[in-house]
Amino acid sequence: MFVSIAERFRVARALVFLALIFASLAARAQQMDAAKGSTITPPRLKTDSGAEYPAQALHDQVPASVTVTLILEISTDGAVAKADLQTPQGHGFDEAALAAAHKLVFEPALRDGTPISARIKFQYVFTPPAPRLVGRVARQVSDRPIAGAQVKVRDASGGEHTTSTAPDGSWGFLDLPPGHVHILVSAAGQMPVDSEEDLASGQETSLTLRLSPELASTPVAESAPGAEAPVEIEVRGERPPREVTKRTLGKEEIEHIPGTNGDALRSLQNLPGVARPPPFQGALIVRGSAPADTNIFVDGTNIPLIYHFGGLSSVVPTELLEKIDFYPGNFSAVYGRGMGGVVDVGLRDPRSDGLHGLAQVDLIDARLMLEGPVFKTGWKFLVAGRRSYFDAWLGPALKRTGAGVTTAPRYYDGQAMLQRDIDSHSSFRLTLLGSNDALKILNQTPDSADPTFAGQLGYSTSFWRLQARYQNKLSARTELRVTAAYGVDAIDLGVGTNLIRTTLHPVSARAELSHKVVRGLSANFGVDLVYEPYHVSLSVPPTVRPGQPSGGPGQVPVRVTTSETLFLPAGYAELEVVPWRGGRIVPGLRADYDSSTSSWDFSPRVNGRQDLTTGFPRTTLKAGAGLFYQPPAPIGTSQGAIDTGTQTMLSSNRAIHYDVGLEQEFTANIDLSFDLFYKSLNHLVVSDAGNSGDGRAYGAEWLLRYKPGGRFFGWVSYTLSRSERRDTPAEPLRLSEYDQTHILTLIGSYKLGRGWQLGGRFRLVSGNLYSPTSYGAFDATTGSQLGVATFPPNGSRLPYFHQLDIRADKTWLFPSWKLNAYLDVQNVYYAKNAEGIGYNYNYTQYGYVTGLPILPSLGLRAEF
């Protein structure tokens, strides 16, 4: 199918008509002027070059005509002085209409023959261009064209269209309606063939049909099955590429990245492939996947949260970290039950060289840590804790707004560790870690749009894990690692009569045996078990899929209470093969069982690397492909929607990751990483629609990095990507709510000397998507005015986000301890970034909701 991009941009049928704005106003003005004896002539259109049908609407496959209404201010010379949207429609229609409106020329309005300025209502009606169906008919073997063949097309409404092929075998229909068509081609002396196609607005479908000679002795009925004519369908467009990578941040980078308050896990948001989450949403959006698709592990044990609420800080403090391994895709068979990325946080062992401690305070929280040997027992200990104290000032501030505050927002986390090296080959460690966030307020003055979403608002989320780890290097060739954990996860959210309460008791165990078989060949075998009893209580409004409107606040809620047990055993095997110099291939296979679906998922994966040069500077090619499954969640879907968890006969969500990339060293400090990725998603669980969803995410990532080591570190990270979803195969792909086309991050930090360090971070990111909403029905039962969101959803994008953060550190060194003070200022130049759209009560006016103003944070840290 040859789809001409130029044709897509060709002017669509743009019907233009004029109406007097504020008809009653004008009428009244005329009445008033008539009373004064004046005569008013409205402006008349002189020149209109029409509006282009937007390319975005073509891509989104907007199926119907769309009307954009503008309010134009016509100056006395007939030019359009100002054009405003009355009701945005998204999908590029608004921009196209505004661009066209500014080229309009009018004869100005007249009062008693004298030109006056005027305001009028003006509408553009965008009608999707008709699909085109073209093709060629040729002989089966020789591929020579067949002239004069009859091509008969039956369209979706049953209408029949007939044409004959030209001498070169070509044929075409330019005005068919969108939808399913049946094509039948016949020619003298040839066996007829037929084909079925789906035509979409603005797209060109191209077929090549090859006919076989008629055999007089062979009945058609017998020959038909085996003689099915091959149909070649060609789609013009860029083939999505592939990629694979793993990223690691160093301690110095983590502690000094501006805008993160030295928080390790928040620093992940500066890496390629990670989207900028909306403010105060601690979500990790990796390569266009939903946050729920990315798994977070602490030393191989899954934890439910990565950030305290608001994304203010991580649930595991930076000081405890040994490493953060971040896999944006194509992770090894060690990890499963996830389609997005993986973050595996490695905790360090306690120090054995005497007693050490740390105390840190900033405007948000305070933390303490103490570690050292337990006398001369061979055991080492570490205890750490953190509590936020912004409830001290946020609580009174909320009370001043009229809210009744029972528990002001607060969080805390704690960690305790005991570790012992049993001998030179083996060690044992016991770790307890947990986190708790809570608030409870009474909102007495809710938004009039949905007063049922008000009253007592309670929120509590907590988890803890007790983890035991045993490592033993059994021989020079064999190593055993065993981790087991038990814990509790609890979420309790209540707003008015809405309630979500879940309690999980996960028991998990991992064991991996690594064995070096021969030189150049290692094997890893492992088991990964999760046994998880859980209880869920829900009382929530009926669920709707993206783009499907809510039934209004007056609906009876869906109430579900269930207690079940998930059993998720898995096993994996992985080889590490070095077949030749500079090459490394890692094939793996993982098998996952899910008791909720009573089915096994098998995930073959392979990753490979090849050094193209020997020695410095190194050039490495890397690539990977693999299958990834994610079991249906008890509640919630990969699409981010709340699902009531009552669907049956589900299977796992599935993704296929493809990766290809290049790493290039330039100097000892500077290297470049370039990656292409393509992620195919299918069998996605959709609210009330089973595994009907699918989608894809693809893009390119660049990371030019200056490694720490000297006075400077920094990087330039850029991601170009696209993420699309649909809920059923019959729908066109739409942009996912996690799509961010451009993500540019520049980071630099420089040691000035005398303990001073100064850094900055600049981000330029595509705005988040939204669905423009206009005037809808009024729910008279609850007094709520409803809006009508444009369909398909996510048709418009907020303006670009840009922000500069700076950070200054000063460190004082003393004989036995050191003191560090830092000032971290976010949004230095006060960019008023749009983070959402706000509407008036009946959706006839709108404006941007802007994000945070300048946000300084001051901190002190003492270590000994």
Q: Are 858 and 261 in contact (CB under 8 A)?
A: no
| Sign of the dihedral defined by the CA atoms of residues 88, 94, 95, 98, in that order | negative
Min dist. Cβ of residue 119 to another protein (A): 14
CB of 734 to another protein, least distance (A): 13
Nearer to another protein, 500 or 586 (CB): 500
> Rounded distance, CA 677 to CA 654, Å?
16
Q: 131 or 626: whose CB is closer to another protein?
A: 131
Residue owning tokens 């309005």: 109
For 734, the enclosing helix (H) or strand (E) is strand 734-735
- Rounded to whole angstroms, the Cα distance separating 735 from 725 reads 6
For residue 20, the minimal CB distance to another protein (Å) is 8
Question: In whole angstroms, how large is the CA radius of gyration of the chain?
Answer: 32
CA angle 254, 258, 262 (to 5 degrees): 40
DSSP states along 608-619: EEEESSSSSSPE
In whole angstroms, how close is the CB of 738 to another protein at the nearest point? 12
Quick check: 473 and 430 in contact, CB under 8 A?
no
Cβ-proximal residues to 441 (8 Å cutoff; 6+ apart), any chain = 398, 403, 404, 405, 406, 407, 408, 456, 457
Q: How far is the CB of 66 from another protein (least distance, A)?
A: 8
Report whether 806 contacts 260 (CB < 8 A).
Answer: no
Nearer of residues 388 and 749 to another protein, judged by Cβ: 388
162 forms beta bridges with 152
User: What is the 3-class SS of 72-130, one letter each residue?
Assistant: EEECCCCEEEEEEECCCCCCCHHHHHHHHHCCCEEECEEECCEEECEEEEEEEEECCCC
Least separation in angstroms between residue 566's CB and another protein is: 14
Nearest-angstrom CA–CA distance, 833 and 814: 43
The CB-of-239 to another protein minimum distance in angstroms stands at: 29
Residue 366 CA to residue 518 CA, distance in Å, equals 51
Nearer to another protein, 74 or 504 (CB): 504
In the complex, what is the shortest distance from the CB of residue 293 to another protein, in angstroms, rounded to a whole number? 10
409 vs 588, which CB is nearer to another protein? 409
Q: How far is the CB of 380 from another protein (least distance, A)?
A: 35
Nearer to another protein, 561 or 667 (CB): 561
Query: Residue 17 contacts by C-beta under 8 Å, 6 or more apart in sequence?
Result: 123
Token pair, residue 109, equals: 């309005």
Give the residue with the Cβ less far from another protein, 29 or 430: 29
Q: How far is the CB of 754 from another protein (least distance, A)?
A: 37
**141 or 556: CB nearest another protein:** 556
Query: What gap in Å lies between CA 25 and CA 83, rounded to an integer?
Result: 19
Contact between 380 and 370 (Cβ < 8 Å): no
Minimum distance from residue 840 beta carbon to another protein (Å): 4
Give which of 626, 695, 703 is closest to 661, Cα–Cα: 703
Burial of 41 (0-12, 13-18, 19+ CB in 10 A): middle
Task: Name the residue nearer to another protein (CB basis): 187 or 504.
Answer: 504
Min dist. Cβ of residue 234 to another protein (A): 27
User: Do residues 316 and 345 touch, judged by C-beta distance below 8 A?
Assistant: yes
| Residue closer to another protein, measured from CB, 312 or 828 | 312
* Interatomic CA distance for residues 124 and 13, integer angstroms: 10
Q: How far is the CB of 687 from another protein (least distance, A)?
A: 11
Q: What's the closest the beta carbon of residue 410 comes to another protein, in angstroms?
A: 12
Element (H, E) at 582: none
Nearer to another protein, 231 or 364 (CB): 364
Residues in Cβ contact with 475 at an 8 Å cutoff, skipping those fewer than 6 apart: none
Residue number, 340 or 624, with CB nearest to another protein: 340
Residue 502 corresponds to which tokens in the numbers above? Answer: 């879940």
Q: Which neighbouring-strand residues pair with 848?
A: 837
* Structure token digits, residue 828: 């230095």
Task: State which residue, 118 or 193, has the beta carbon closest to another protein.
Answer: 118
Nearer to another protein among residue 290 and residue 655 (C-beta): 290
224 or 392: CB nearest another protein = 392
- The DSSP code sequence of 311-342 is G-SBSS-GGGEEEEEEEEE---TT--S-SS-E
Minimum CB distance to another protein smaller for 155 or for 659:
155
End-to-end CA gap in the chain: 69
Q: Tell me how far apart the alpha carbons of residues 81 and 79 are, in angstroms, rounded to a whole number.
A: 6
- Rank residues 294 and 673 by Cβ distance to another protein and give the closer one: 294
As measured in angstroms, the least distance from the Cβ of 535 to another protein is 11
**Residues making up the chain, counted from first to last:** 864
Nearest CA-CA partner of 363 in 337, 394, 384? 394
Residue 700, token pair as written in the block: 């390119």
- Cβ distance 762 to 738 under 8 Å? no
User: CB 158 → another protein: shortest distance, Å?
Assistant: 17
d(CA 95, CA 60): 15
Least distance in angstroms from the C-beta of 201 to another protein: 10
* CB nearer to another protein: pick between 309 and 412: 309
Phi/psi-derived region of residue 496, left when phi > 0, alpha when psi is between -120 and 50, beta in every other case: left
Residue type, 803: Q
Q: Residues 71, 83: contact at Cβ < 8 Å?
A: yes
Minimum distance from CB of 562 to another protein (Å)?
10
How is residue 456 written in tokens? 């007592």
Give the H or E element holding residue 32. Answer: helix 23-36
